[in-house]
Amino acid sequence: MPRNVREALILLVLLLDALGCGVVTPVLPTLVLSLSGNEAAAGRDIGLLNATYAAALFLFSPVQGRLSDRFGRRPFILLGLMGGLAHYVTAALTPSLWLLFAARLLGGLCGANAAAANAYMADIVPPDRRTAMFSCMGAAFGLGLGLGPGLGGLLGGLDPRLPFWMAAVLTGTTAILGWALLPESLQPGARRPLDWSAANPLAPLLSGGQTATARDLLAGIFLYVAGQTALQTTWVLFLRQSLGWGAAEVGLSLTVLGLVWGVAQLGLTPLVTRYLGDGRALLLGLTMTIVAYTLYGFVREGWQLYAVMAGTAAAFVTGPTAQGVLSRQAPPGRQGELQGLATSMTSLGAIAGPILGGASFGYLTSPEGSMAMPGGAFLVSTVLSLMTLGFAIRALSRERGEESRTTSGDAGQREIRRASALDHNDNGRVIMAFEDDAPCQVLANLSGRYSLWPLNHAIPDGWRAVGFSGPKADCMAYVDKVWTNILAQDRPAPSA
């Protein structure tokens, strides 16, 4: 199947999946209120439901990312869709709050298929086009989330459970399309052995298997999402209290925001990245995010709200450009692992953000307090975005440093050549000459080459440890298994 057709299928899957999520957004509070009995309890339960969903995503995303590295992307994309179908049907039929919690938990577990979808796109799209395609993915998701609340509001006026049935129909249709048309993207030769030690969602980050640049980007993703979800949590409350808006006006604002998101990612992101590159576009997006969050906090009229949305549309380039920069940090065979970890950081931010946003809104608007600043909660999002900008600047600075050390030949390779004599096997792997039983570790560089290096020696510039060590023979077997994309230029010339 042509690559552009597979790309279109993934985008369609994301659009329909997001539309299903958006449809239930405006009626979930009504359903919870009918099960909780009063508004105070409903507010608490909505927060716990959202935390349950995000926590399930956080715990299961890296597991699913690793499983997709071993068994392929397609099974987990389809499994997630089928689980989402079960989630919506259960929510539509539930007579009790605990069953609704169970449905949200299932939805979170199955929602982790975003890691497999991201890895699928990274598998089939060349590195120089990934940011553009991640932008299209963000646009499809944003369009679904933008159109969904309007449709959900109309259906919810008839029956608060009807939008859940609509979401089930949309998700079931997506699953059928995926099963019938979507091929596998990860070839058997590129799959990794299964490692259950990675079941800990933070294990790849804590083990040092990721580059320092990747760790900075992942920390930035956590802070960025925390700020974003803190704003989303207080959005409805702010508009009702500051502008006196009802459900119709609030729903319209969410739809317009989603449409601006989609249009900006489809039209603006490719233009900005073409002229500025991924790194500068990321910094521009974060800067505009900071401006937007700050201005939202001082909105007092409806036209001001929409003016800020339009004037700061460049803020929406942040997500796809961050994904594009992050995807470059994954060594061969570990794209799914890195995307799974990114999804976990997103989920962790989605747990922390609503708690922080709700607490700050309550404090700043409490009748017992001395302040009446409903928009002040948005300034918390501003602070978190400022911290994100700091991590992004450091990550991009590190990436430029790494690239400069690996240009003009291969600086890391020259470092190894200076350190010791080398021997080369017939597959072009580069191995430092030392005893077979000496403990060593596997290194990789930005160009995707692998090398063996003594375990207790300082790692040369431009190279990083991939997290595998042992006797020389075991390390060679590992390299033979993971280094499957050797090109002619990867074969080093014989030593003089």
Residue 422's nearest CA partner among 301, 414, 252, 329 is 414
SS3 state of residue 95: coil
Q: 208 near 465, Cβ under 8 Å?
A: yes
DSSP character string of 242-307:
II---HHHHHHHHHHHHHHHHHIIIIIHHHHHHHHHHHHHHHHHHHHHHHHHHHHTT--SHHHHHH
Q: 186 near 69, Cβ under 8 Å?
A: yes
> What pLDDT score was predicted for residue 143?
74
- pTM assigned to the model: 0.62
234-257: pLDDT as tens digits: 777 787 778 887 666 777 787 888
Q: Cβ–Cβ contacts within 10 Å for residue 432, how many?
A: 20
Please list, in sequence order, all residues whose beta carbon lies within 8 angstroms of the beta carbon of residue 5, skipping any fewer than 6 positions away.
Answer: none
CA atoms within 13 A on the CB side of 429: 23
The model's confidence at residue 437, banded by pLDDT at 50, 70 and 90, is low
Element spanning 424, H or E: strand 422-424
Residue 134's nearest CA partner among 148, 113, 120 is 120
Q: 286 near 221, Cβ under 8 Å?
A: no
The model's confidence at residue 427, banded by pLDDT at 50, 70 and 90, is very low
Structural tokens at position 137: 């993915």
Q: 66 near 337, Cβ under 8 Å?
A: yes
459-477: pLDDT as tens digits: 776 677 776 777 777 777 7
Q: How far lies 126's CA from each of 12, 87, 132, 324, in Å?
A: 20, 35, 11, 11
Residue of higher predicted confidence among 450 and 307: 307
As to burial, measured by CB atoms within 10 angstroms (0-12 exposed, 13-18 middle, 19+ buried), residue 434 is middle
Please determine, for residue 212, whether its predicted confidence score (pLDDT) is greater than 60. Answer: yes
SS3 state of residue 211: coil
Percent of the chain surpassing pLDDT 90: 10
Determine the Cα–Cα distance for residues 218 and 395; give it in Å rounded to an integer.
10
343-401: pLDDT as tens digits: 778 878 888 887 787 777 777 776 554 456 777 778 989 999 999 999 999 988 887 77
Residue 339's nearest CA partner among 174, 119, 192 is 119
The answer for 333, left when phi > 0, alpha when psi is -120 to 50, beta otherwise, is left
* Alpha-helix runs per DSSP H in 37-96: 39-71, 74-93
Q: Cβ–Cβ contacts within 10 Å for residue 191, how many?
A: 18
73-123: pLDDT as tens digits: 888 888 888 888 888 898 888 888 889 888 888 887 777 667 777 778 878
Please determine, for residue 414, whether its predicted confidence score (pLDDT) is greater than 60. Answer: no
> What pLDDT score was predicted for residue 426?
37
Determine the Cα–Cα distance for residues 394 and 392; give it in Å rounded to an integer.
5
295-309: pLDDT as tens digits: 999 998 999 999 999
* Alpha-helix runs per DSSP H in 366-471: 376-406, 411-419
Q: Cβ–Cβ contacts within 10 Å for residue 49, how many?
A: 22
What is the average pLDDT value for the chain, to the nearest integer?
Answer: 75
> What pLDDT score was predicted for residue 493?
34
Structural tokens at position 333: 């065979």
Arithmetic mean of pLDDT, 20-36: 75
Determine the Cα–Cα distance for residues 415 and 399; give it in Å rounded to an integer.
19
Q: How far lies 250's CA from each of 120, 306, 389, in Å?
A: 35, 12, 30
SS3 state of residue 451: strand
Backbone angles phi, psi at 451, to 5 degrees: -155, 155
Q: 340 near 63, Cβ under 8 Å?
A: yes
Determine the Cα–Cα distance for residues 379 and 357; give it in Å rounded to an integer.
10
